[in-house]
Amino acid sequence: MASAAPRGLLGRIMMRKSVAQIQQETASSELKRTLGPWNLVFLGIGCIIGAGIFVRTGNAAALHAGPAVLLSFVIAGIVCGFAGLCYAELASTLPVSGSAYTYSYTTIGEFAAWIMGALLLLEYGLAASVVSVGWSGYMVSLLSDIGIHVPDALTGPYGHPKELADGTVITTIFNLPAFLVCLALALLLVVGVSESAKFNNVIVAIKVTVLAAFILVGGFILIQNYDQFAHNWQPFIPEPTGEKGEFGWSGILRAASIVFFAYIGFEAVSTAGQEAKNPAKDMPVGIIGSLVVCTVIYILVSIVLTLIVPYTELNVPDPVAVAVDAFGPQWGWLAKTIKVGAIIGLTSVILVLMYGQTRIFYTMARDGLLPKVFSTVHPKFRTPWINTILVGIAVATAGGFFDINFLGDATSVGTLAAFGIVCLTVIWLRRTHPELPRGYRVPLYPVLPALGIISCFALIFTVEARVLVFFAWYVVGAIVLYFLYGMRNSELAKGHLVVADAETPYFPEDAPRDESGKPVIRP
């Protein structure tokens, strides 16, 4: 059954999908509430720890915050906390599964869902490119340790100057390892590689063990030789250069938008709301607990990084590798071990991010907002193979040709905008549908959601101008594409499955109407 076509442009772009259409297994989700608060905390830690701490920390310290990058981690963690609590309320209110795309389509409407889909392309697609560049840095470093040398010109973005160990400066033309790993993982996803719970647990254990070893050994070296390294923290907050975002407190805020990348993934906790034993108590514990634990880990890693190595030398895609090499030749075995662990962890992250991006495109294509080719399933492998190949090529190209700082900033901007919209959605839903049962409510409403919106967009405007210009044109392009294609081809607008059979619309105003305009509510 389909609802009557909306009247006017505003009504059209705010068409919403019913909850039943998105997920027809709402009732069964009540049988799967098995996750307690500690399960959610560990889930969050596993999703959060990844490319950000292994890749972007060095850039943030070297170019913007210096040793005070640890303060940037605190700021970014607080901003994520605001957004995380809003995610938790949505997860406990709407019995749907999926990303912020589904939340937007179910609450604000189709246009908001389209914009969210465009932002998620930055959060997942570009994030995979950033991780691939970091993966390349660690792989090149490890290969060098065992005597295999990758040509320097093939280890960086197009037209990027790179200083070699002998002082020679060359211009890189292409990041071959980053390109190849993305294509290889795309082919694996086409065949149908799924990560089991046990495999995920192993990867999480490797990532945490690698960082723990780095912190413990680095901390031991620092305690034994503190006087030798203390000068690397003088000053702790470098004097600002006069350029916005270069050191001083403006640099700390700028770095917060960079290391924000290190927290991407925490929203996975909120999407487990239907499986939490007690969402009202367990969700905030899981979100805030995992954010606090990861923030502490990140601060400890940044302390070791910036004390062992002068922050000016950390503008590299593999800062942890650079620092562990500085431990000394006697720790060479540990350096190789940490690099192997980082490569394994980053490989998993690329795979998960690309998987997530293909499934978002798949869902949007099923909704008619993208061409049907993105939802074409391979007859043998049962995966969206053309979609996956296209995503793989796009991610590989970005990782191969573009600068990690630009890619990372664009990812952070897209993610911050998405989180800001999530905070806005909570306020919008509280005002329009206060009667909905909520398993969890954001405390101090509307202060915390409002702070989430303000802080997310405040961090956006700390990035450099070229990224903001790119983001502005990207959003404009997305809007134009919606009106040219998405709006015309939407399955929802065609009246297809707007309300599932035997399911009353979640929102009363979405109910089908008779000729007199009265809602038709089935028993």
Q: Quick: pLDDT tens for 320-329.
A: 888 988 888 8
* Bridge partners for 161 per DSSP: 171
20 pLDDT above the threshold of 60: no
Which of 17-21, 128-132, 203-207, 427-431 has the least mean pLDDT?
Answer: 17-21
Which of 86-100, 377-391, 458-472 has the least mean pLDDT?
Answer: 86-100
Cα(43)–Cα(30) distance, rounded to whole angstroms? 20
Q: pLDDT band for 275, please (50, 70, 90 cuts).
A: low
pLDDT score at 17: 67
DSSP 8-state secondary structure symbol assigned to residue 196: -
164 pLDDT above the threshold of 90: no
pLDDT score at 166: 75
pLDDT score at 391: 93
Quick one: average pLDDT of 37-61?
A: 81
Name the more confident of 383 and 117: 117
Name the more confident of 209 and 16: 209
460 pLDDT above the threshold of 90: yes
pLDDT score at 453: 95
- Candidates 46, 385, 395; CA nearest to 198 is 46
Name the more confident of 283 and 304: 304
Token pair for 220: 């031991």
Name the more confident of 318 and 391: 391
Q: pLDDT band for 523, please (50, 70, 90 cuts).
A: very low
Q: pLDDT band for 508, please (50, 70, 90 cuts).
A: low
Which of 59-68, 92-101, 171-180, 368-377 has the least mean pLDDT?
Answer: 92-101
Name the more confident of 22 and 428: 428
Name the more confident of 514 and 155: 155
* Bridge partners for 276 per DSSP: 35
At 175 the three-state DSSP class reads strand
184 pLDDT above the threshold of 90: yes
Q: pLDDT band for 496, please (50, 70, 90 cuts).
A: low
Cα(422)–Cα(89) distance, rounded to whole angstroms? 10
When computed from its CA atoms, the radius of gyration of the chain, rounded to whole angstroms, is 24
pLDDT digits (tens, 9 = 90+) for 62-91: 999 999 999 999 999 999 889 988 988 887
Quick one: average pLDDT of 302-312?
A: 92
pLDDT score at 138: 87
Taking the alpha carbons of 304, 306, 310, 316 in that order, is the dihedral positive or negative? positive
Q: What mean pLDDT, rounded, does the chain reach?
A: 82
DSSP 8-state secondary structure symbol assigned to residue 230: G
Cα(507)–Cα(489) distance, rounded to whole angstroms? 24
